[in-house]
Amino acid sequence: MRHRIAVVGGGPGGLTLARVLHRLDHPATVLERDPAPDARPPGGSLDLHEGMGRLALEKAGLLARFEELSRPEGQAMRILDAAGHVLRDWRPGPDERANPEIDRGQLRDLLLGPLDVRWGRGVTHVAPEPGAGSGARVHFADGRQETFDLVVGADGAWSRTRPAVSAVTPHYTGITVVETSLDDVDTRHPGLARLIGDGSVAAYGANRSLVAQRNSGGHVKVYARFRAPLDWHAHLDLADADAVRSSLLALFDGWAPPVLDLLRHGTAFAHRPLHVLPVGHSWTHVPGVTLLGDAAHLMPPLGVGANLAMLDGAELAEALAAATGPADLDSAVRAFEERMCARAAQWARITTAGLERLVSPDPAEALAQFEEVQPS
């Protein structure tokens, strides 16, 4: 039996769900508010882990193509202190492919393939229909409505689907990120290219850090992380790059000049305060609606979120494709939610503790975060 399934959100989790369903000959409709795939910058690169994001791609039949696109050299990590001294310099061996990097845009295009994506279809809210097995109704920004057997909210931190199952909203961690970027770094900024290497470089000080991550094509993402009130920028015009740059340089005053050059040469600056859902967030099952990825378990962005979202999507797809009727569909979703929430709670505890170490009054604590960790 083919169920009418809507996936709200065209990020890694939602696209993985739809792509695995497609492989299992069970179509789904992806509803994405962006008007086109390239309507906005896709963000920095992702490292896909064995048993998580890479397992999801294997279930989608895309692992071989991922291996061709990914950058195993991007696993390299160099750690500095605020004075610029190298504390750790790890480079992957020739056969090390535990967490290869891929640009988000490349991953999106890989997953899109033949999928039915309705671009420019913003969702305002989702409402379960009365009656067992009746599904849920999607309300669109243009006033239209449509009913599906199951609506899956894969629409991120500020999910429009989440209120159908949970009244919980994300809360601010007390840590904010300002993102900037460098283009054509190997030609325009060769000194910074050497500092960053093939992967990432991170420098740590008291309650703040600077991280630079190489993407493909000589593009580098730079992230300044620091503890601050949510309104720390109230006196700034965030569209004024010179003003934001000056404010950040003052915040990181005294750091080594080569590290500060990551900010000096940055172009536009984006403010990204870090919000999370409570550790162990779950909900009483609501027939016709479920969540995955950040919509279900938003946690600190320490390399796990997209991997979990993709694994969520792949596992849910397999469960849905095997369901033979409305009652079976509902049972499959209920069982998926229990597994997903238990797994996410373990990782939320790890990443919450990790963020506290990475932006700590004692910079030495940051080194502990780079030991390999797995949920207990």
CATH number for the domain that contains residue 132: 3.50.50.60
Residue found by looking up tokens 């769900």 in the block: 17
Task: Kindly tell me if the per-residue pLDDT of 246 is higher than 60.
Answer: yes
Domain residue limits at 35: 5-74+97-169+277-363
Task: Please list, residue by residue across 11-38, b when 16 or more beta carbons sit within 10 angstroms of its beta carbon and e when fewer do.
Answer: bbbbbbbbbbbbbeebebbbbbbeeeee
Of 275, 298, 317, the last residue of a domain is 275
- Least confident piece of the model among 89-93, 285-289, 307-311: 89-93
Q: What is the pLDDT of residue 76?
A: 94
Q: What is the pLDDT of residue 349?
A: 97
The H or E element that residue 211 is part of is strand 208-214
- Pair 163, 239 in one domain: no
CB 338 within 8 A of CB 59: no
- Pair 34, 101 in one domain: yes
What's the rounded Cα separation, in Å, for the pair 157 and 227? 20
pLDDT digits (tens, 9 = 90+) for 338-361: 999 999 999 999 999 999 999 999
Of 216, 243, 275, the last residue of a domain is 275
pLDDT band at 373 (very low <50, low <70, confident <90, very high): very low
User: Is residue 85 in some structural domain?
Assistant: no
User: Is residue 374 in some structural domain?
Assistant: no
Residue with the bigger pLDDT between 272 and 1: it is 272
Average pLDDT over residues 81-109: 90
Task: Kindly tell me if the per-residue pLDDT of 77 is higher than 70.
Answer: yes
- Pair 281, 350 in one domain: yes
The H or E element that residue 224 is part of is strand 220-227
What's the rounded Cα separation, in Å, for the pair 348 and 69? 29
- Pair 293, 266 in one domain: no
Residue-averaged pLDDT of the chain: 94
Task: Kindly tell me if the per-residue pLDDT of 2 is higher than 90.
Answer: no
What's the rounded Cα separation, in Å, for the pair 3 and 172? 38
Average pLDDT over residues 257-268: 95
Q: At 213, which CATH number?
A: 3.30.9.30
- Pair 59, 208 in one domain: no
- Pair 196, 154 in one domain: no
Task: Kindly tell me if the per-residue pLDDT of 368 is higher than 80.
Answer: no
User: Is residue 90 in some structural domain?
Assistant: no
Total domain count, the chain? 2
The H or E element that residue 17 is part of is helix 12-23
pLDDT digits (tens, 9 = 90+) for 102-129: 999 999 999 999 998 999 999 999 999 9
Q: What is the pLDDT of residue 133?
A: 79
Average pLDDT over residues 1-6: 89
Which tokens go with 112?
């899109």
User: Is residue 64 in some structural domain?
Assistant: yes
What's the rounded Cα separation, in Å, for the pair 174 and 180? 20
Q: What is the pLDDT of residue 372?
A: 46
Task: Kindly tell me if the per-residue pLDDT of 298 is higher than 80.
Answer: yes
DSSP string, 24-71: TT---EEEESSSSTTSS---S-EEPPTTTHHHHHHHTT-HHHHHHH-B
pLDDT digits (tens, 9 = 90+) for 14-60: 999 999 999 999 999 999 999 999 898 888 899 999 999 999 999 99
- Pair 165, 23 in one domain: yes
What's the rounded Cα separation, in Å, for the pair 102 and 257? 30
DSSP string, 260-276: HHHHHT--S-EEEEEEE
Which residues on adjacent β-strands are paired with residue 136?
128, 148
- Pair 292, 329 in one domain: yes
Q: What is the pLDDT of residue 71?
A: 93
Strands 5-8 and 150-153: parallel
Average pLDDT over residues 231-246: 94
User: Is residue 84 in some structural domain?
Assistant: no
Average pLDDT over residues 259-280: 96
Q: What is the pLDDT of residue 376?
A: 42
Taking every pair of Cα atoms in the chain, the longest distance, rounded to a whole number of angstroms, is 65
- Pair 260, 313 in one domain: no
User: Is residue 376 in some structural domain?
Assistant: no
Q: What is the pLDDT of residue 89?
A: 94
Of 249, 275, 301, the last residue of a domain is 275
Residue with the bigger pLDDT between 265 and 364: it is 265
- Pair 251, 293 in one domain: no
Average pLDDT over residues 270-276: 96
Q: What is the pLDDT of residue 369?
A: 63
Which of helix, strand or coil describes residue 158? coil
pLDDT over 90, % of the chain:
88
Which tokens go with 348?
């939320």
- Pair 255, 201 in one domain: yes
What's the rounded Cα separation, in Å, for the pair 245 and 243? 5
CB 224 within 8 A of CB 171: no
DSSP string, 294-342: HHHH----SS-HHHHHHHHHHHHHHHHHH--SHHHHHHHHHHHHHHHHH
Task: Kindly tell me if the per-residue pLDDT of 170 is higher than 60.
Answer: yes
User: Is residue 370 in some structural domain?
Assistant: no
DSSP assigned state of 286:
B
In angstroms, what is the C-alpha Rg of the chain?
Answer: 21
- Least confident piece of the model among 153-157, 220-224, 322-326: 322-326
Task: Kindly tell me if the per-residue pLDDT of 168 is higher than 60.
Answer: yes
User: Is residue 87 in some structural domain?
Assistant: no
pTM of the predicted model as reported, rounded to 2 decimal places:
0.94
Average pLDDT over residues 190-217: 95
- Pair 40, 144 in one domain: yes
Task: Kindly tell me if the per-residue pLDDT of 370 is higher than 70.
Answer: no
Q: What is the pLDDT of residue 357?
A: 92
Q: What is the strand order of the sheet 150-153 is part of?
A: 116-119, 29-32, 5-8, 150-153, 289-291
Q: What is the pLDDT of residue 363?
A: 83
